[in-house]
Chains A and B, each alone.
Chain A
Amino acid sequence: MGVLMEVKNLVTRFYTQEGTIYAVNDVSYTLNEGETLGVVGESGSGKSVHALSIMGLIPMPPGKVTNGEVWFQGRDLLKLNKEEMRLVRGAEIAMIFQDPMTSLNPVLTVGTQITEALKLHLGMNNTQADNRATELIDMVGIPDARKRLHNYPHQFSGGMRQRIMIAMALSCNPKLLIADEPTTALDVTIQAQIIELVKQLQKELKMAMIWITHDLGVVAGMADTIQVMYGGRTVERGPIKPVFRDPRNAYTLGLLNSLPRLDAAQKRQRLTQIEGSPPDMRVEPVGDSFAPRNPYRTERCWTETPPLRQAEGGVEGHMVAAWYDLREIRKQQQLEGKR
């Protein structure tokens, strides 16, 4: 598999009246063709802002991508002008958002909204565009496709609207789909429907995907690679199974431990909670942002930012940013447990 996109040292800031918000702090990674990358983090972790930065959708001002390169098909997206970027968005990289209620225009029929991209990017005429739009709506599992083209967004339910957003995103056969919490506003049964649909369409269309979510369960079920973000940085990243089985960053471990399991019988144990609260993004990060909440922190965590590097003894591509060695700590604990 070839490399589809390479993100290098991405830094995004917002200059607001209350001061600078350090939203994304030096994020780098590569995405392969056809790969599904799950980006996990809490609100304020920079997961959404990093995606918007790639898409050139950061409102400027107050925001600004202050550093970095995004190489996609031999071009640095951050260097493109508005017009060039407009031709990439929608055609080569498409995006779907969390709230299907607000991302559709309420005064235009869904047909008008889907055919807009087809006419702009693929130069279709009205009839061609209508036919393709019908195919697309049919593809995402909405019955009576041709009639539904003439309906307005309010005539669809939340799940249906998200299907329309997906149809719209896929209309030009993009090479990359970025999905920003696309199922968070939906009920679990509808979420399951949407995930199945996207997985199946991804296989058919052979596109890569970045799936942004706070739900580790969703990532576990669909991603090839997981990237955990905290305080605007990638703190751990790697193939999905090794990261879940053998997490090396204290935040990843803490998250996994704090989740109750649907498939575990009641043991009536307290949940193992992560103390404290997420970092204030208005403060310039010094050292490891998780240090104040981390029981395994070292002196170095307070002052120096750990680089993302290969986890020792881990599978290839399992990267972690930590000054402590969780594997060693766990060994010690097991030893103490035996004594």
Chain B
Amino acid sequence: MMSAPAPLMHDKKEVSKEVILSVSGLKKHFPISSGIVFQRQVGAVRAVDDVSFDVYRGETLGLVGESGCGKSTTGRTILQLYRPTAGSVQFEGKELTTMKGEELRAMRREMQIIFQDPFASLNPRMTVGNIVSEPLRIHNILRGKELREYVENLLEKVGLNPFYINRYPHEFSGGQRQRIGIARALALNPKFIVCDEPISALDVSIQAQVVNLLEDLQQELGLTYLFIAHDLSMVRHICDRVAVMYLGKIVELAATDELYDNPLHPYTQALLSAVPVPDPSVEEDRQRILITGDLPSPANPPKGCNFNTRCPVRMDACFREPDPALTEVSPGHWVACHRVP
């Protein structure tokens, strides 16, 4: 119902302090090559450049930033869909970056991904039943009647009529397709899901449905999410902690309310002030911190601090000194800025 007061989900979500995923010094550089016959590497796009963070069991960690900041690459590199250039990714204490073959394939049952574009991420020639059951068939878990029942249950769980099992993706709307993508991700009972902009391609009136579904599933199944997004209002709603990325690096990481109420990095401040609020009375008095210019190329990042080309409060040290390290300024609040002691 639309107007009835929404039921309180939980006063305080239970998030353990047990680390489920630990990322340290992660780098992913894509080579730029030149030459026709003899390809030489002439440079590298530093999509992810030395990123470290922990994810706790049962939490939702938000990863935000503008397009090209490396947030999606980070998600995919964690899942080993891209092999990292350097760094380590440990899932439940097991190192993923050195795993390969059968061992890695087995690990994939624990970690899944939901993609942004529900139109491009589903094979148009497969039925919904085949799409959702494919992971189960690959891992040889269920077959025959049992498989069909399992898939029907899954479809019901994500709010789709099991009756649709033999239909094709084009027969569904965007929101329903995203539900199919979610069912596929859930099929193997994973512990950890990378949600790569799962609602950006959906209509406004459908976004809330999908976000509610993701939250319900998290509650029910004890899932851990890495939620990649650029909609900062939605991130505030769904995430327990948020990391802000800029040009391949994390510039700030804190608990959600702390980050939104007390942003310390000038980029976070500018980013938050740029988000429009759907309330004319609030918008009227809002002061925006406008940052000028565009994102520099990650193939040729600025010398010194990455943000020094656009920063409204830059000083000499930001050009002279190397890139500031991510340091903990108060418990759980990490910032990488020369201005912040």
Give the shortest distance, in Å, between B261 (CB) and chain A (any CB). 7
Q: Does B206 contact A (CB under 8 A)?
A: yes
Binds B, one of A47-55, A56-64, A202-210, A254-262: A254-262
Whether A254 pairs with B277 at a CB distance below 8 angstroms is no
- CB–CB A217/B208 < 8 A: no
- In chain A, residues 187-210, which have Cβ atoms closer than 8 Å to a Cβ of chain B? 187-193, 196
B237 at the interface (CB under 8 A from A): yes
Residue A272, interface by CB 8 Å: yes
**Interfacial residues of chain B within 106-145, with CB under 8 A of chain A in the complex:** none
Any chain A CB within 8 A of the CB of B291? yes
- Cα separation A40 to B185 with both chains bound (whole Å): 33
- Given A188-B66, A190-B294, A196-B288, residue A220 in contact with residue B2 (CB < 8 A): no
A188 and B274 form a contact (CB under 8 A): yes
Question: Given A220, A261, A272, which contacts B283 in the complex, CB threshold below 8 Å?
Answer: A220
Q: Is the CB of B276 within 8 A of A220?
A: yes
Interface string of B213-235 (1 = CB under 8 A from A): 00100000000000000101110
Interface residues of A in 294-339 (CB under 8 A from B): 295-296, 329-330, 333
**A257 contacts which chain B residues (CB < 8 A)?**
2-3
Residue in A220, A269, A333 whose beta carbon sits within 8 Å of that of B8 in the complex: A269
Question: Does residue B198 face the partner (Cβ distance < 8 Å to A)?
Answer: no
Q: How far is the CA of A166 from the CA of B220 in the complex (A)?
A: 49
Q: How large is the interface on B (under 10, 10 to 19, 20 to 34, 35 or more residues)?
A: 35 or more
- Would B8 and A295 count as touching, CB distance under 8 A? no
Do B272 and A262 touch across chains, with their CB atoms under 8 A apart?
yes
A277 touches B67 (CB 8 A): no
Any chain A CB within 8 A of the CB of B275?
Answer: yes
User: Contacts A214-B203, A244-B279, A271-B208 given: A192-B176 contact, CB under 8 Å?
Assistant: no
Chain B residue at smallest Cβ distance from A224 = B280
B299 within 8 A of A: no
Selected contact of B274 from candidates A160, A189, A216, CB within 8 Å: A189
Taking the complex as formed, is A250 at the interface, i.e. its CB lies under 8 A from any CB of chain B? Answer: yes
Q: How far is the CA of A255 from the CA of B294 in the complex (A)?
A: 32
B276 lies within 8 A of A333 (CB): no
Q: Is the CB of B204 within 8 A of A42?
A: yes
A270 CB–B CB distance under 8 Å? yes
B211 within 8 A of A: yes
Please judge, given known A-B contacts A192-B288, A266-B236, whether A220 and B204 are in contact too, CB under 8 Å.
Answer: no
Total contacting residues, chain A, CB less than 8 A? 57
Nearest-neighbor residue (CB-CB) of A245 within chain B: B281
B274→A221 contact, CB < 8 A: no
- A255 / chain B contacts, CB cutoff of 8 Å: 204-205
Query: Does A283 make an interface contact (CB < 8 A)?
Result: no
Question: What A residues does B155 contact at CB under 8 A?
Answer: none
Q: Does A101 contact B (CB under 8 A)?
A: no
Residues from 158 to 181 in B contacting A, C-beta threshold 8 Å: 173, 175-176
Q: How far is the CA of A105 from the CA of B257 in the complex (A)?
A: 45
Contact indicator B261/A265 (Cβ below 8 Å)? yes
Contact A261 B233 (CB under 8 A): yes
**A270–B210 Cα gap in the complex (Å)?**
11
A residues near B294, Cβ cutoff 8 Å: 157, 159-160, 190
Q: Complex Cα distance A216/B175, Å?
A: 20
Encoded as 1 (CB less than 8 Å from any A CB) or 0, chain B from 37 to 66 comes to 000000000000000000000000000001
B36 within 8 A of A: no
Distance (Å) between the CB of B118 and the closest chain A CB? 13
- Cross-chain contact A268 with B12 (CB below 8 angstroms): yes
Which B residues are CB-close (under 8 A) to A219? 278
A218 contacts the other chain (CB 8 A): yes
Inter-chain contact B280/A273, CB cutoff 8 Å: no
For A275, list chain B residues within 8 Å (CB).
209
Report Cα–Cα, A330/B277, bound state, in Å.
Answer: 24
Which residue of chain B has the shortest Cβ distance to A290 in the bound complex? B205
Q: Are B9 and A268 within 8 A (Cβ)?
A: yes
A265 to B258, CA, bound (A): 10
B282 at the interface (CB under 8 A from A): yes
- Check B176–A262 contact: CB distance below 8 A: no
Measured between beta carbons, the chain B residues less than 8 angstroms from A272 are 1-4, 6, 208
Tell me whether B212 is interfacial, beta carbon within 8 Å: yes
Task: Name A262's contact: one of B175, B230, B233, B281 (CB within 8 Å).
Answer: B233
- CA of A166 to CA of B238, assembled, Å: 36
**Structural contact, A295 and B280, CB atoms closer than 8 A:** no
Contacts of A192 in B (CB 8 A): 273-274, 288, 290
In Å, the complex CA distance between A257 and B205 comes to: 10
Complex contact B272–A271 (CB within 8 A): no
B102 contacts A by Cβ under 8 Å: no
Q: Could you list 24 examples of A-B contacts with CB < 8 Å?
A: A43-B203, A188-B275, A189-B270, A190-B66, A193-B292, A216-B204, A217-B278, A219-B278, A220-B276, A220-B277, A254-B2, A259-B278, A261-B236, A261-B277, A266-B256, A268-B10, A269-B7, A270-B9, A271-B212, A272-B4, A273-B2, A274-B2, A274-B209, A278-B173
Other 13 A-B pairs with CB < 8 A, given A220-B279, A274-B205, A329-B3: A187-B230, A188-B230, A188-B271, A192-B273, A217-B275, A245-B281, A261-B277, A268-B8, A268-B9, A269-B6, A272-B3, A273-B208, A274-B209
The 8 closest A-B pairs by CB, nearest first: A217-B276, A260-B237, A192-B274, A221-B283, A216-B278, A273-B208, A258-B208, A187-B66
